[in-house]
Amino acid sequence: MNCKIVLSELDDFLDAELKPMQHAQVQSHLSQCDSCHQAWQQELEFRQLLKEHTVPAPALGLEERAFAKIPKQAKKTNKNAFVAGFSGAIAAGVVLMIAAALFFNPVVQTPVANITLALHQSKKVKMVFDVPEAVAEATFSMRLPEHVEIAGSRGLHQIEWKTALKKGKNLLSLPIVANAAEVGELIAEIKYADQIKRFRMKLDIKATEQGMLKITMPGVA
């Protein structure tokens, strides 16, 4: 087998598309011919580059959302009441954002401070969890004060579910709505093994002249 044939069959060789005998012949040639071996290595590096190309990690709770539109009676698993509220999260706007490095870095970054929303109008809380390594199973929970609830789920003030975290940024979007102009606190926790990260957010909700509420997030602890 000469260089011309080997190089023309390099793609098929790397794609494992050659018959065993041809595959062996190309392999044998590559072990003896420096220039073809170099071309093969170059092609390997190129393929590796393509293989390493990733897609952005999905927002937190992909599995829940993937099954969210399935009628409840059809579901055998996933009885979490959170799903209904969360599936409606796509349509609303931004309320606040937290960027936090979990588990491997104890430092929590200061969140955005002032957010304004209209009374009885849902807006999204967005939290970004930046993890240095993938986490197979983490438990996320959130507690809201009595006068704030998950939008679309009347009276739902507390949610908890298990989820995997991808390496890098994991986005959680959750719509909340305030029903009264009272001070409150939002507590979010993420647990992994024996580690817990807790976020406390003071909600300073005030009705404005136009019937708007101003929610201030002074910091996390």
185 binds another protein (CB under 8 A): no
- Burial (CB < 10 A; 0-12, 13-18, 19+), residue 59, is middle
- Burial (CB < 10 A; 0-12, 13-18, 19+), residue 8, is exposed
Structure tokens at 73: 């009676």
54 binds another protein (CB under 8 A): yes
Report, in Å, the least distance between residue 179 CB and another protein: 26
CB nearer to another protein: give 24 or 94. Answer: 94
CB nearer to another protein: give 17 or 137. Answer: 17
167 binds another protein (CB under 8 A): no
Binding range to another protein, per CB under 8 A, among 72-80, 140-148, 151-159, 208-216: 72-80
39 binds another protein (CB under 8 A): yes
Number of residues counted as binding another protein (CB under 8 A): 53
Q: How many CB atoms lie within 10 A of CB 220?
A: 18
Between the CA of residue 118 and those of 89, 123, 207, 211, what are the distances in Å?
Answer: 17, 9, 8, 7
Footprint of another protein (CB under 8 A): 3-4, 7-8, 10-12, 15-17, 35-36, 38-39, 42-43, 46-47, 49-56, 58-59, 62-63, 65-70, 74-77, 90, 94, 97, 99, 101, 109, 126, 128, 130, 164, 169, 171, 173
